[in-house]
Amino acid sequence: MSSSNSDTTNLDRKWWKEAVVYQIYPLSFNDSNGDGIGDLKGITSKLDYVKSLGVDVIWLNPIYSSPNKDNGYDISDYKNIMQAFGTMNDFDDLLKGMHERGLKLVMDLVVNHSSDQHEWFQQSKRSRDNPYRNYYHWWPAEKGKPAHRWSFFDVNGDAWQYDESTNSYYLHYFGDFQPDLNWENPKVREEIFNMIKFWFDKGVDGFRMDVIPFISKDITFPPLPEKYHGDYISYYAHGPHLHEYLREMNEKVLSKYDVMTVAEGVGITTNDAHLLVDPDRNELNMLYHFEGMGLGLLPNQFKVPDPNGFNLVEFKNIYTRWDEIFKDKGWGTVYLGNHDQPRMVTRWGDDAPEFRELSSKMLTTFLMTMRATPYYYNGDELGMNNIKFDSIDDYRDVETLNMYQQIKNNGGDLKSFLEAQKIMARDNSRTPFQWDDSANAGFTTGMPWLKVNPNYRTINVAAEENNSNSCLNYFRKMVKLRKDNLVLVYGKYTLLDKGNKHVYAYTRELNNNKLLVLLNFSAQDAEVNTGIDINNAKILISNYTSINTSNLLRPYEAVVYELE
């Protein structure tokens, strides 16, 4: 079947376009020494498992030295390993183990901010004339209070923190323990570029760049312009020198290595995506957008799911629009979950017992059949779902804890906040990986840093290995299907039956090869009108084991047909 795929003359083929990226959350993947925290040795010992999935690239969340207040996104030393994760030797072993298996490693680059424990910041706050002063954004208090900037994780939502020692405020778009680095300072850029080089020289294959669109700011810090009221994220994302800095990074470092780069594209829309990823601009390779993630939430509230769920027609429009903009130039990404999002099956599928596996496989089918590099989050291949904590005491995430405190201080409704967090909290996707049915899912022999989902007794790797119909084995088949059919990577995408509220249908076409993908996103039988005759079509994969004898798609049914 792949023979018709062989004419690839017009494709701008790249390994990172053909890759399936598998994201490993190191805190929760596998603990090798019983302290309840996942670690590098733990990952190394599971590389055969990762390889068995058929994926090519591992994206590892931050593993650098860190006080760990935001799970490694607060870095105190960029060239060292977090103690709880192991040593630089452990890292070298991990990288070696990956390369031996033909797996590539993409690390997390967190350079909009550092930890307040970083030596640069410790120096910077010491005095106004310290050589590191301009590594961060300071505002002398005698000028009055600076114009408001919103903070993601601050209890008061205020991104300016007053610091007594020099009678000044410093800027922190995230927690007050995460001061923003000052990219205007050429020394800061040089330090960062050298640090990136340090990792590339070790053999790292790329970076996922944390909130990279935020690195450039208008450092006069004017009041937020009128048009950004209510939408400060877009303002944060479009600093005046963003592209200049990225080009400089590309010229000085990225262009010297065969690596992939992907921006966490917070605040980036289809209008400006090209500026980041068009090859002739020499900035980054890919970005991942947030438009899909915002669906099905109530407006102007903090992560409150709409009781009516999300609108599939809008969902299709978003992913179609993001496909469309890259049809001639640039390259997209697709994901439905990561460490900042709840479990994919809970949020986009249906985690009720009768539908969890079906809907999880259906979502996997979607991710593996789009024209974009799929980013797949560890545990989703098992159909892991949200843990849905009842009590605030079970949460560890600074976002949930500080938002809880904020609502409490304002006399807000804590009960509905906790209800919403059962669906939306980030800790839902951060619970320990489920290896087997032994204590703590085989993740640790100690006390896990975050509770294990009690459903690990049935949902785990060992059980799923032995079941040819498991989510795990379906994921493997789906990855293989993508690998065997270049049309699934590069083929033209065409949305069909646009207005259908329950079914997502599209074709993928390359040369003489044409596939049809049908995905029922609902818990009911659903009609689909594609205008395509499937009587003689061959089923390449389906998430049901029995043949469909009706004209309707069954609940959460997913099928991929080969048409010609």
Question: Active-site residue numbers?
Answer: 210, 264
Residues 6 or more apart in contact with residue 63 via CB below 8 angstroms: 26, 40, 72, 81, 82, 85, 91, 107, 108
Which of Ca ion, ligand ISL, none lies near 33, with the C-beta cut-off 5 to 8 A by kind? Answer: Ca ion
State how far the Cα of 283 lies from the Cα of 330, in Å rounded to an integer: 11
- Min dist CB 435 to Ca ion, Å, is 14
Nearest residue to 5 via CA among 481, 488, 511 = 511
Q: Classify 282 in phi/psi space as left (phi over 0), alpha (psi -120 to 50) or beta.
A: left
The residue among 268 and 516 lying less far from ligand ISL, judged by its C-beta, is 268
The residue among 266 and 367 lying less far from ligand ISL, judged by its C-beta, is 266
Answer yes or no whether residue 31 interacts with Ca ion by CB under 5 A: yes
Instruction: Output phi, psi for 162, to 5 deg.
Output: -75, 135
- What's the Cα-to-Cα distance from 20 to each of 198, 210, 267, 369, 481, rounded to whole Å? 26, 20, 24, 11, 12
Pairing of strands 558-562, 492-496: unpaired
Answer yes or no whether residue 450 interacts with Ca ion by CB under 5 A: no
Q: Which SS3 state, helix, strand or coil, does residue 33 take?
A: coil
The residue among 21 and 110 lying less far from ligand ISL, judged by its C-beta, is 110
The residue among 238 and 426 lying less far from ligand ISL, judged by its C-beta, is 426
Would you give the DSSP letter of residue 9? T
State how far the Cα of 247 lies from the Cα of 284, in Å rounded to an integer: 9
Residues 6 or more apart in contact with residue 70 via CB below 8 angstroms: 153, 174, 175, 177, 178, 398
Which of Ca ion, ligand ISL, none lies near 39, with the C-beta cut-off 5 to 8 A by kind? Answer: Ca ion
The residue among 66 and 507 lying less far from ligand ISL, judged by its C-beta, is 66
Helices assigned H by DSSP within 501-547? none
State how far the Cα of 530 lies from the Cα of 518, in Å rounded to an integer: 9
CB nearest Ca ion: which residue? Answer: 39
Single-letter residue type at 56: D
Number of residues in contact with Ca ion under rule CB under 5 A? 5
Find the binding residues for ligand ISL in span 395-424 (CB under 6 A): 399
| CB atoms inside a 10 Å sphere around CB 501 | 11
Find the binding residues for ligand ISL in span 451-510 (CB under 6 A): none
Find the binding residues for ligand ISL in span 60-89 (CB under 6 A): 70, 73
Which of Ca ion, ligand ISL, none lies near 250, with the C-beta cut-off 5 to 8 A by kind? Answer: none
- Torsion sign, CA atoms 122, 128, 130, 135: positive
Answer yes or no whether residue 90 interacts with Ca ion by CB under 5 A: no
- Min dist CB 136 to ligand ISL, Å, is 15
State how far the Cα of 7 lies from the Cα of 187, in Å rounded to an integer: 48
Answer yes or no whether residue 236 interacts with ligand ISL by CB under 6 A: no
The residue among 348 and 521 lying less far from ligand ISL, judged by its C-beta, is 348
Find the binding residues for ligand ISL in span 135-154 (CB under 6 A): 152
State how far the Cα of 293 lies from the Cα of 336, in Å rounded to an integer: 8
The residue from 163, 340, 419, 437 that contacts ligand ISL (CB under 6 A) is 340
Which of ligand ISL, Ca ion, none lies near 381, with the C-beta cut-off 5 to 8 A by kind? Answer: none
> Which two tokens mark 33?
């020494």
The residue from 35, 184, 419, 509 that contacts Ca ion (CB under 5 A) is 35
* Long-range contacts from 13-18, C-beta under 8 angstroms, 24+ separation: 13/490, 14/285, 14/331, 15/56, 15/104, 15/260, 16/57, 16/206, 16/260, 16/285, 16/286, 16/373, 17/331, 17/373, 17/489, 17/490, 18/56, 18/483, 18/486, 18/489
The residue from 19, 27, 37, 195 that contacts Ca ion (CB under 5 A) is 37
The residue from 4, 33, 530, 548 that contacts Ca ion (CB under 5 A) is 33
The residue from 19, 22, 24, 39 that contacts Ca ion (CB under 5 A) is 39
Which of Ca ion, ligand ISL, none lies near 37, with the C-beta cut-off 5 to 8 A by kind? Answer: Ca ion
Answer yes or no whether residue 245 interacts with ligand ISL by CB under 6 A: no
Site string for ligand ISL, 162-181 (x = CB under 6 A): ------------x-------
> Which two tokens mark 260?
């992939």
Quickly count helices (H) and strands (E) in the chain.
18, 18
The residue from 94, 110, 336, 370 that contacts ligand ISL (CB under 6 A) is 110
Would you give the DSSP letter of residue 522? S
The residue from 60, 171, 211, 276 that contacts ligand ISL (CB under 6 A) is 211
Answer yes or no whether residue 427 interacts with ligand ISL by CB under 6 A: no
The residue among 37 and 262 lying less far from Ca ion, judged by its C-beta, is 37
Which of ligand ISL, Ca ion, none lies near 31, with the C-beta cut-off 5 to 8 A by kind? Answer: Ca ion
Answer yes or no whether residue 445 interacts with Ca ion by CB under 5 A: no
Answer yes or no whether residue 123 interacts with Ca ion by CB under 5 A: no
Single-letter residue type at 44: T
Q: Please give the residue ranges that form the binding site for Ca ion (CB under 5 A).
A: 31, 33, 35, 37, 39
Q: Please give the residue ranges that form the binding site for ligand ISL (CB under 6 A).
A: 70, 73, 110, 152, 174, 210-211, 264, 266, 339-340, 399, 426
